[in-house]
Chain A
Amino acid sequence: MSDHPRPVVLGLAVGALSVMGVSALCQALEVKITTVRAAERGPSDAQLEALRPRLRRLVGYRSFQIVGEERRKCAWQAPEAFTIPGGRLLRVVPKGMRDQAVLMQVKLLDGERALVDTDVRLQNRGVMLFGVGQDSRPAEGALIIMLKAED
């Protein structure tokens, strides 16, 4: 019997760790990143029909088409990087909950350079938008990144 305690303890530890891992995964936050190409003319995706008036008011363009979509479980305090069409990176760190909203650090990176570094608080299913446009050539449209967090 004296030979057995070590494997038992090891087994218990492994079990406890896996339970903790599973529970951490269960508590993870689902982050959805949708990248939309906004343009002055052209059709809009049917999937964006409900959002179109809001996008129209905020961005000013008329046509909106999804160019990328990614949904990922993100653990609290762990950074997750989403590749955005065009080569940029959106780095998201879910920091915690405050006032029934998710607090997240969001960084839009262009190579090493952070175009935007921000802390945002999002309600469940709330949407935060990031846009990359160019003042000098508005006719070429803009890229809209929609960030959504769900419990």
Chain B
Amino acid sequence: MSCAEFAGLVDAFIDAELPAPKLLSVARHAGACLDCDRAVRELTAMREMLERGGRADAELLDLSPVWPAVERRAVRVDARRAWRRRLRTVPAWGIGLAAAAGALLWLRAPGPEPIRVTARPRPNQAVIERLDSSGGRFEVRSERKTGTLLIMFNATGDEAGR
């Protein structure tokens, strides 16, 4: 095995993902080549360091809210599966009839209903209808969450000092 071939296989070697004969030949090459042996040691040390870091981070994680969320999701998945099971039991002619009725309704519909977007009024909504400033510099800042507006006037030093 050449060093170039070794370089292509070293990651899989360290992760023990190679088949046994390949694993053996990579190990043999590393045993005979100082540079490749060093590369294996460095990569192994790095992997161990990452694993230690990962373990420490995992210990710090608070997983208590995870399982209730997983349970809720599992309940939803179960419900979906139950619906699919029920649908499978519906005879083919029933599905065909439903599809035909749907197509008929779609064809008979006068046209697509305009989409009505109703924005929920925000608690502090303010709207500027007109704005005029004879002098000085101002800017309008808005906070989208609550709809609060601020007109910020930047006075000169003397003006603002008052």
Chain A interfacial positions (CB closer than 8 Å to B)? 54, 57-59, 86-88, 101, 103, 108, 110, 113-123, 125-137, 140, 142-144
Chain B nearest CB from A150 CB (Å) reads 13
Do A117 and B134 have beta carbons less than 8 Å apart? Answer: yes
Contact of A134 among B128, B133, B157 (CB under 8 A): B157
Q: Within the assembled complex, what's the spacing in Å between the Cα atoms of A54 and B142?
A: 10
Chain B nearest CB from A133 CB (Å) reads 6
Contact of A127 among B124, B128, B136 (CB under 8 A): B124
* Interface size grouping (class) on chain B: 35 or more
Say yes or no: is B160 at the interface (Cβ < 8 Å to chain A): yes
How many contacts A-B (CB < 8 Å)? 126
Say yes or no: is B86 at the interface (Cβ < 8 Å to chain A): no
Q: Which of B111-151 contact A (CB under 8 A)?
A: 121, 123-138, 141-143, 145-151
Q: Which residues of B lie under 8 Å from residue A126 when comparing CB positions?
A: 123-126, 147
Do A134 and B151 have beta carbons less than 8 Å apart? Answer: no
Do A129 and B127 have beta carbons less than 8 Å apart? Answer: no
Q: Which residues of B lie under 8 Å from residue A118 when comparing CB positions?
A: 128-132, 151
Do B149 and A128 have beta carbons less than 8 Å apart? Answer: yes
With contact pairs A118-B151, A121-B127 given, residues A133 and B138 touching in the complex (Cβ less than 8 Å):
no
A-B contact pairs, 12 of them (CB 8 A): A58-B150, A87-B162, A113-B134, A114-B132, A114-B133, A115-B136, A117-B132, A117-B133, A126-B123, A129-B149, A137-B157, A142-B160
Q: Which residues of A lie under 8 Å from residue B135 when comparing CB positions?
A: 113, 115
With contact pairs A115-B135, A117-B132 given, residues A122 and B151 touching in the complex (Cβ less than 8 Å):
no
Chain B interfacial positions (CB closer than 8 Å to A)? 121, 123-138, 141-143, 145-157, 159-162
Q: Which residues of B lie under 8 Å from residue A58 when comparing CB positions?
A: 141-143, 148, 150
Do B143 and A114 have beta carbons less than 8 Å apart? Answer: no
Q: Which residues of B lie under 8 Å from residue A142 when comparing CB positions?
A: 152, 160
Closest to B127 in A: A121
Q: Which residues of A lie under 8 Å from residue B162 when comparing CB positions?
A: 86-88, 110
Q: Within the assembled complex, what's the spacing in Å between the Cα atoms of A52 and B154?
A: 21
Q: Which residues of B lie under 8 Å from residue A117 when comparing CB positions?
A: 131-134
Chain A nearest CB from B132 CB (Å) reads 4
Do A115 and B125 have beta carbons less than 8 Å apart? Answer: no
Q: Which residues of B lie under 8 Å from residue A132 when comparing CB positions?
A: 152-153, 155, 159-160
